[in-house]
Amino acid sequence: MPDLSLSPQPGAAQARGRNASLLAFLIVIAAGAVYVGMHLADDLSPVRESSALPWLLLGIALLIALGFEFVNGFHDTANAVATVIYTHSLSPNIAVIWSGAWNFLGVLTSTGAVAFGILQLLPVELILQVGSSAGFAMVFALLIAAIIWNLGTWYFGLPSSSSHTLIGSIIGVGLMNQLMHGANGATGTSGVDWSQALGVGKSLLFSPIVGFLLAGLLLLILKAVVRVPALYSEPKGKEPPPFWIRALLILTCTGVSFAHGSNDGQKGMGLIMLILIGTVPTAYALNRAVTAEQTQTFVAVAHDATRALERYTNGVAAPADSRAEVQRFIGSRSLSSTTVPALAALSNQVADQVHGYGSLAAVPQSVVDNVRNNMYVISEAIRLIDKQKAVAFSADDAKSIDNFRGQIDHATKFIPTWVKVAVAIALGLGTMVGWKRIVVTVGERIGKQHLSYGQGGCAEVVAMVTIGAADVYGLPVSTTHVLSSGVAGTMAANGSGLQWNTVRSLVMAWVLTLPASIVLAGALYWVFKHLF
């Protein structure tokens, strides 16, 4: 049985190496914290607030959001380093630093599609009013609910999915919002975007099945092709594996860490951006990195899209409140005769607003919220019309309208580098603090035999490929689910047998995560809504 203790190893050189790696980790964390603080202060320097309350709310909300990522490190990032730590291919300190570096690179190269895709599950009016009391109640409820459930499952050593938990919390807030305010037609309040939720649910449901089957199949192929007994033996004491096996396991850990950062690391970033937009819209509602030249391109594309939309109004005039009609369509998914005219009028209004100020950076604080919200509902309406095929646009017109949506998303759906650095730091610290419980579960408690080198490598290769593929399509998947099911698949394929008590506990945690987080987040939203 491998020894996972962190007790001192014999030999002064090993002790010095371990201390040096810990020091390097702390230096990286400190440097990252300084970077985050400097860039946040620089972003906020132009902001003028008459009250200290927005700053207080910003600080609390950011701490809670980063706390979620910290707890996420207990679960998902711990899974990424589980095999290299369990097999003693890397020491825990080195493994966490190595994994954190590749998580960070994965986050930096991510598209943001997963981050903003998850936010589409939220009711549109809460997103548009994220700076209101209801918006803060939403953010606090879904994050605190996710943290509570993740801490509970971590305490019992169960690799429950942070992704699953967060999505359940978002659904809980959406359902409670609808219950508190009535149906769509009565109040204009939308609930959960169930079509988006179904797509997310499918990715979370099928990814563990894919992990189980593919990891088992890969192990069988590996045993047939590579007949090296050492590859299929379990770790002995603190002895590291042969060099080539060690290199293979480090490579797979690297791949899973990078894929995890590019997919799972985005979830917290989307929520942090929502917080920043709600508290300091002057700095974060619009992408101020868009140049004056790019702004002129935006205006030209907006006018092209407006002309394209006007060809499908069927002579119907736009309503007096165009945004209200477009927002109604987003909430109800029901296209009326005035929806396209309203969308065309709103698109033209946005083009005129941006053109009048010359650049996005010049949009004044008093109207920045309005401009961003106009852009947001236009983008969402175009997405839904395309998804439903509700309007038969010609190929050229569809291209113009889609191009406009891309310009809007570039202007509104952006993630500053300092946010990515902050998330990477929180994930790394969480992994450093809480890796051991999850590593022991993955290595020893899923199968009746301890995890072999080959089984760990196969599970991580499948996890890396599955998460990477999901990231390409903007779908959230759980590193925990994919890797744990992959380990179970290799145990089944190897004939090692499964520890059904652990498997039942894992399945129960996975099954209960969604309803538990829905109820918890809904209840917290109700409480916070009455407090704020």
200 vs 190: CA distance, rounded Å: 19
Please report, as a single letter, which amino acid is at residue 394: S
On the 0-12 / 13-18 / 19+ scale of CB atoms within 10 A, 60 is middle
On the 0-12 / 13-18 / 19+ scale of CB atoms within 10 A, 386 is middle
User: 22-44 burial string, b = 16+ CB within 10 Å, else e?
Assistant: beebeebbeebeeebeebbeebb
Residues 241 and 373 occupy one common structural domain: no
Is the residue at 190 inside a domain?
A: yes
Contact status, residue 267 vs residue 370, Cβ threshold 8 Å: no
Q: What is the pLDDT along the chain (532 residues), one digit of tens a residue?
A: 455 544 444 455 556 656 776 677 678 788 888 999 999 989 888 777 667 777 888 888 899 989 888 887 766 667 778 888 888 888 877 887 788 788 778 877 877 777 787 777 787 777 887 777 888 888 899 899 989 988 887 777 666 777 788 888 988 988 888 888 764 444 444 566 676 677 777 777 788 888 899 999 999 999 999 888 888 888 877 788 888 888 988 998 898 888 888 877 787 888 888 888 888 887 888 998 888 889 999 999 999 999 999 999 999 999 999 999 999 998 888 999 999 999 999 999 999 999 998 888 888 878 888 899 999 999 999 999 998 999 999 999 999 999 999 999 999 988 898 998 898 888 777 777 766 766 777 766 677 777 888 888 898 899 888 888 877 777 777 777 788 888 889 988 888 778 887 777 777 777 788 889 999 999 999 999 888 7
Is the residue at 12 inside a domain?
A: no
Give every CB contact of residue 446 below 8 A, 6+ residues apart in sequence: 484, 487, 488, 491, 498, 499, 502, 503, 506
Is the residue at 5 inside a domain?
A: no
480 vs 486: CA distance, rounded Å: 10
Domain range enclosing 310: 288-412
Residue with structure tokens 């089984």? Answer: 455
Q: Helices H, strands E: what count in the chain?
A: 22, 0
Residues 507 and 521 occupy one common structural domain: yes
Angle at 307 between CA 304 and CA 312, to 5 degrees: 135
What pLDDT, on the 0 to 100 scale, is given for residue 235? 80
Is the residue at 4 inside a domain?
A: no
237 vs 185: CA distance, rounded Å: 65
Output the CA torsion sign for 455, 261, 434, 17: positive
449 vs 451: CA distance, rounded Å: 7
Helix (H) or strand (E) holding 296: helix 292-310
Residues 234 and 135 occupy one common structural domain: yes
pTM over 0.85: no
494 vs 515: CA distance, rounded Å: 34
Residues 393 and 260 occupy one common structural domain: no
Residues 98 and 127 occupy one common structural domain: yes
Domain boundary among 378, 412, 446: 412
Is the residue at 371 inside a domain?
A: yes
Chain mean position to CA 58: 20
Contact status, residue 58 vs residue 412, Cβ threshold 8 Å: no
37 vs 100: CA distance, rounded Å: 20
The 10 Å Cβ neighbour count of residue 312 is: 18
151 vs 421: CA distance, rounded Å: 23
- Please state, in angstroms and as integers, the Cα–Cα distance from residue 528 to each residue in 53, 125, 134, 135, 149, following that order: 17, 17, 8, 10, 18
Residues 38 and 137 occupy one common structural domain: yes
Residues 215 and 140 occupy one common structural domain: yes
Is the residue at 268 inside a domain?
A: yes
- β-bridge mates for residue 447, sequence order: 498
What pLDDT, on the 0 to 100 scale, is given for residue 300? 95
Residues 400 and 437 occupy one common structural domain: no
407 vs 400: CA distance, rounded Å: 11
Give every CB contact of residue 302 below 8 A, 6+ residues apart in sequence: 347, 348, 350, 351, 354, 404, 407
From 132, 98, 78, 124, select the one nearest 24 (Cα to Cα). 98
Residues 407 and 458 occupy one common structural domain: no
Helix, strand and coil in the chain, % to nearest 5: 75, 0, 25
Domain boundary among 412, 435, 463: 412
Helix (H) or strand (E) holding 426: helix 417-440
Structure tokens at 2: 């491998």
Q: How many domains does the chain have?
A: 2
235 vs 1: CA distance, rounded Å: 7
Domain boundary among 412, 432, 467: 412
205 vs 130: CA distance, rounded Å: 30
163 vs 169: CA distance, rounded Å: 10
288 vs 198: CA distance, rounded Å: 34
Is the residue at 11 inside a domain?
A: no
Residues 79 and 169 occupy one common structural domain: yes
Is the residue at 499 inside a domain?
A: yes
Residue with structure tokens 């999850």? Answer: 438
Residues 223 and 298 occupy one common structural domain: no
DSSP state of 50: S
User: 389-420 burial string, b = 16+ CB within 10 Å, else e?
Assistant: ebbebeeebbebbebbbebbbebbbbbbebbb
What pLDDT, on the 0 to 100 scale, is given for residue 197? 73
Residues 214 and 302 occupy one common structural domain: no
The 10 Å Cβ neighbour count of residue 234 is: 19
Chain mean position to CA 39: 22
